[in-house]
Amino acid sequence: MLKSSLLLAALLLPVFSAANADDYKAGDLEVSNPWSQELPPNAPTVAAYFVIHNTGETADRLLSAETPLAEKAELHEHVMQGDLMKMQQVPNVDVPAKGELTFAPMAYHVMLLGLKDRSLLADGKQFPLTLTFEKAGKVEVQVSVHKAPPMAGHEHMHAQ
């Protein structure tokens, strides 16, 4: 029985490791599943999405993002103003203690402006994105580009 349990654990290890292959740590924070959608023809901007998990006892704050792919990377959110959904830039985003914050379509996202290399925004490609946090410091993630939004882990909106 023990041998079969060890064998099963050994066989499943690569599956669990692969599932966490897109996780990046910075202090008490873990950034998981960074992704962007393939750039449509003639689109002037693109957004990047991810989930930030905070295992710490204190809140942190995402201050900025940057990438060599774009002239500017801005933190944005979608908000309802009357009957209209509007996108607006925000100076920073709080990451709650013992909580998570999801950057997703129609929620918080990183908007990339002044794109420099559109070839990196094709399905299957990746590009670097550096996130700067108030307490955890900088963490560089690799954003995976997908033709369609990935579903796992992105079905809920941001938490505050």
At 41-71, the pLDDT tens digits run: 888 999 999 999 999 999 999 999 999 999 9
pLDDT value of residue 21:
54
Domain architecture of the chain: domains with CATH: 21-146 (2.60.40.1890)
With cut-offs at 50, 70 and 90, classify the pLDDT of residue 22: confident
**19: Cβ–Cβ under 8 A, 6 or more apart, which residues?**
none
Helix (H, G, I), strand (E, B) or coil at 40: coil
C-alpha 39: how far from chain center = 17
